[in-house]
Amino acid sequence: MCVSLILAPFTTPNAKWSIDQSIESPTVRRVKAMGRPVLQLTKRISSSLLSPLSPLSPSTRFPWDTPSHPLEFFRTIRTLGQGGSGTVYLIQDKITTELFALKIISKLGMDAEDVEFALREQRTLCKMRDTHNILSLKASFHDRTNFYFITAYYPGGDLFSMLEKYRGTRLKSHSIKVYAAELLLSIQLLHCNSILHRDIKPGNILIDNEGHLVLADLGLARDFNSVPPKPASNGGQAKPMTTSASHGTPEYASPEVLSGKPYSVEADLWAFGVILFELLTGRDPFAAAGDPDGPDWLYNLSKSIKEDPLVFRSSDKLDEHEMNLLKRLFEKKVECRPTLQQIKAHEFFRYIDWDAISRRVRPGQWLPQNTSEAHTSASSSKKRSSGMKLYPGQQYKSHEDPYPWFTFSTISAVSAPDSTTTRPTPCDTSSDSSSSSSFQSGNFTDATSLESNSEGKHPASKMHLKRAWLRIRGQHQQ
């Protein structure tokens, strides 16, 4: 009799468990007062009776557990990083204890272009969410104050931190080739899906719990399948996946990007070359004299990338295959650079098993040392009942939300409307993705902006970056 009274409110045909709390029986109120463990047990029992074939999720929540904002389902542990596009926090699901990374982008001061970048990033992440090479989006939502992205948490940090740790020292040759191959496959996957990353740099490459590389931060990425193609300016057919909007970080930007010319997949491969050079030598291939915060540093760097030849030092200790590949990657003329498939076929990668790299059958060299550190920190924070506190903004009413499709979720803490999203196209590693006929073209009306971040240490405001970039363009034209 007692069990039937407990289960009675739950054995209704309503799949969403929407119970009118104003007419709850005293028994239900007593069960609620007994705490979450009893509620979880009751829910599991009732779920098994209603859907015996459905797996029981430990993260199942009750109507009275639903907070006013999705963030209240999570515990904020610490700040992971901060950049020009937002702040990233380490958070933990209060019920499942699973760790996630939360990126918050403030809407304060956003113009229409900034909003479009945030919406575009969400669409691109949704499209690529089922791949282990690209940042895994778990949920996204927004309120009147911020955009929120919940992604998988990668405890290994980023490649920039790893390069700084080994700055001035040469890594093992085979490990360099494996990591270069993983990065190249990530770029190929984006290009196969008609996406230019446009900001590939060590700070945007994460390391997962098995030491593998994950390409992240698609805020500046351009999905050419999301806009209709446009004709070339000369009236002919434009090159597939071509744009002229200047985006990226100057140290990893190609000559054509810095010159304001139309560019395509070769710009991502140039950035790959810069990262490969840093892995092999521990230094930057091109440099500018002076203070990185000075007025002429950005112009001098741009001039060096566009005009200076690649110089090797005896301390680099490079073999002939390494030097040959780097020389080809840093050709000033786009048509002289190798395609992605030609890079994979180069002698530098002669001992690389591309299928094994794609399946990630072996752990990487840079395994995170303390994978349980975050869980320990979260447990300590829970015991103290203190820690960081995030203050979300006011939520939209259902009929007021300007972007209802932005709410997306694969976790139970965030409810999202059912929607269909484009799935990523798997890459055929035997074909040249740069010549795919499925690529679409067109010049996108992005305003020029260049993220100036000297090795990730000097973040600058967007308006400052726009002025600096426009100054370079003006001096170049003069």
The residues, any chain, with a CB within 8 Å of residue 478's CB and separated by 6 or more, are none
How far apart (Å, rounded) are the C-alpha atoms in residues 392 and 147?
A: 10
Are 264 and 241 in contact by the 8 Å Cβ rule? The answer is yes
Q: How far is CA 17 from the centre of its chain?
A: 35
How far apart (Å, rounded) are the C-alpha atoms in residues 215 and 187?
A: 8
Question: Which residue from 247, 217, 221 is spatially nearest to 466, judged by alpha carbons?
Answer: 247
- Neighbouring CB atoms inside 10 A of 281's CB total 19
111 tagged catalytic: no
Look at residue 105 and give its three-state secondary structure.
strand
The residues, any chain, with a CB within 8 Å of residue 270's CB and separated by 6 or more, are 252, 253, 254, 255, 329, 330, 337
Look at residue 74 and give its three-state secondary structure.
strand
- For every residue of 199-246, DSSP letters joined together read ---GGGEEE-TTS-EEE---TT-EETTSS-----TTSSPPPSS-B---
Q: Which of 199, 208, 217, 268 is catalytic?
A: 199
How far apart (Å, rounded) are the C-alpha atoms in residues 67 and 316?
A: 57
**What burial class does residue 396 get, using C-beta atoms within 10 Å of its C-beta: 0-12 exposed, 13-18 middle, 19+ buried?**
middle
Catalytic residues: 199
